[in-house]
Chains A and B, each alone.
Chain A
Amino acid sequence: MSIERFLDNSISSWMAGDGEHSDIVMSTRIRLARNLNGYRFPLAFTEDEAHKIDQSVSATLLDANEDLQMHFSSIQIKDLSELSRQVLVEKHLISPKLANSPMTGSALISDDEAVSIMVNEEDHIRIQCLFPGLQIQEAYKQADAIDRVLEKEVSYAFDEQFGYLTSCPTNTGTGLRASVMMHLPALTITKQMNRIVTIISRLGMVVRGIYGEGSEALGNVYQVSNQTTLGKSEEDIIADLQSITEQIIQKEREARNALLKHSANTLEDRLYRSLGTLSYARIMTTEEAAKCLSDVRLGIDMGLIKDVDVTILNECMVFMQPGFLQQYAGTTLNTSERDIFRAKLLRERLQQGEKTKTKGENSYDV
């Protein structure tokens, strides 16, 4: 299977917009960090070691089609252009760190893009499962199945006291990072996020803004994940994240209802203004696009805006990023050219979405 399909299509299965609580939880991600015995970690290893690791992991997974009921495409980072790497990062299929390891990094991506196994990132193996909506259990089950296939064929670095041995001490133990990507506009508007972030950090979990640098929460999208990996079983980590996520969902729903009750007109005005901006603006920065998309999404979720398909918004959130824009444009663009092209794509996409309500996957094959 060629790499092109991963690059051309901005829709991954995790953006499908279905799954439980998908109006608030956009996606669920499970990541398992694993290393092999007998090789140094990527920070210290040689290219020869990297090559051997890559070979044994790839061979195992490419042979495991029947066990796992899925087919992987193997991608060597060194074969990709800078832009292609950026596109895969923007689709969350590989990490920025892997994209920056051109000599040694590789990835195995499943056809539906729900599973990606990064080889020689910070650890020898990073199993990642990305599911739409709130599906922590399901995503973990998938990651665990891949882990079990691998452990039969390769020898994992494991210690009775410390568990799975990882390059970074923050992953030691289960090597598990479970996270949910949540759209929390009402909690942000009502300025409750500060409090929630503080409380959650005391429970061994962490909240970050995503789609932005550092802690900036672009488009009111936050990522909630477990902070600790030692001293807690996989089941407990998952159960804790599940319960915290459900509580945040509850709070977000309460905040939405409160907004509707106390300032329905102001809210509706704001959301429709954003829809107007997306539909007609000629220049659009990432920040403004993210804000407007967040507003329109909230409008759809609350039933205030009709006739726009929510999956389009998930897709827009991805393709409005710099790498994707340039991939679509087929050429490199500077910042102001990008802002113009972004506005154009968003305009067209929204008009199409209103008319046809289809996914229209190849609409930009111009």
Chain B
Amino acid sequence: MICENCKQRPAKVTVTQVHNGEHFERHYCEVCANSLHPFYVEYKHDPLSLHQLLTNWFNHTDQQPMQHIQKKTPLECEVCGWSIQRFLDEGKFGCASCYNSFRGQLPTVFKRLHNGNVAHVGKAPGAFGEKIALKKRIEAIRLQMKDAIETEKFEEAALLRDEARELEDQLAAGGEEKHVD
């Protein structure tokens, strides 16, 4: 076979590209392959590239993690009707409720996709943001309280305890800030 690009030298390198699920095979000589795909070879030798891991996984070439998840009860999302199997096949969720329906299984998925991370840190939309900020403040006050107790500053600890309680009440009331003067 002759190189598709220069049409002069014999083809020695086969390049398979997957684009929108379609496979394209191209045959190049070493010279053209090098100039057209400058970092292709490196990808092939790097089996731990996240992208590759992902592709393998969703294409079922790597059966391990699939089986691991499948063993648990077959789940179905009550809103869109997608099963966990369909989620794994498509690599996509059917609706926002899927996250709730498959909650138990998701950390395994996210760990692989997001460098071991399973929880969101960062921005939240208005109402959620306030609630989350409140929870974080309570958490922080509790830590301070613990410190205060350990260093035997009990008066300070009592004040912190009251503050935390007040915030907890706010949280229970729906996260809306009570504007206490």
Contacts and interface: CB of A to CB of B under 8 A. Distances in A.
Interface of A: 35, 37, 39-41, 43-45, 96, 122, 144, 151-152, 156-170, 172-174, 176, 188, 191, 193-195, 197-198, 201, 204, 206-207, 213-217, 227-235, 287
B82 to A, nearest CB: 7
A113 B175 CA distance: 39
B114 A40 contact: no
Contacts of A37: 96
Nearest to A167: B92
A170 B110 CA distance: 8
B42 A198 contact: yes
B110 A230 contact: yes
A109 to B, nearest CB: 24
A96 B131 CA distance: 38
Interface hub of A37, A122, A194 (most chain B Cβ within 10 A): A194
Query: Interface size for chain B: under 10, 10 to 19, 20 to 34, or 35 or more residues?
Result: 35 or more
B122 A232 contact: yes
Nearest to A96: B20
Contacts of B50: 201, 206, 227
B109 interface: yes
Interface string B107-120: 00110011111111
Contacts of A201: 46, 49-51
Nearest to A49: B95
Given A41-B92, A165-B99, A198-B46, A228 B117 contact: yes
B124 A163 contact: yes
Interface in B1-52: 17-20, 24, 36-43, 46, 49-51
A163 B122 contact: yes
B120 A197 contact: no
B131 to A, nearest CB: 8
Nearest to B81: A44
23 contacts: A41-B92, A45-B95, A122-B92, A160-B120, A161-B120, A165-B93, A169-B110, A172-B99, A172-B120, A173-B122, A176-B122, A193-B39, A197-B42, A206-B50, A207-B39, A213-B17, A214-B19, A217-B39, A227-B115, A230-B114, A231-B116, A231-B119, A234-B123
B126 A162 contact: no
Contacts of B115: 204, 227-228, 231
Given A40-B95, A215-B17, A232-B122, 15 more contacts: A39-B95, A40-B80, A41-B80, A43-B92, A151-B126, A161-B120, A163-B120, A169-B91, A173-B122, A188-B38, A213-B19, A215-B43, A217-B39, A231-B117, A231-B118
B93 A215 contact: no
B43 A197 contact: yes
Given A151-B126, A231-B117, A41 B96 contact: yes
Contacts of A169: 91-93, 106, 109-110, 113
Interface in B54-90: 54, 79-80, 82, 90
Nearest first, the 5 closest Cβ-Cβ pairs linking A and B are A231-B117, A163-B120, A157-B96, A194-B42, A233-B122
A230 B117 contact: yes
Nearest to B50: A227
Contacts of A235: 122
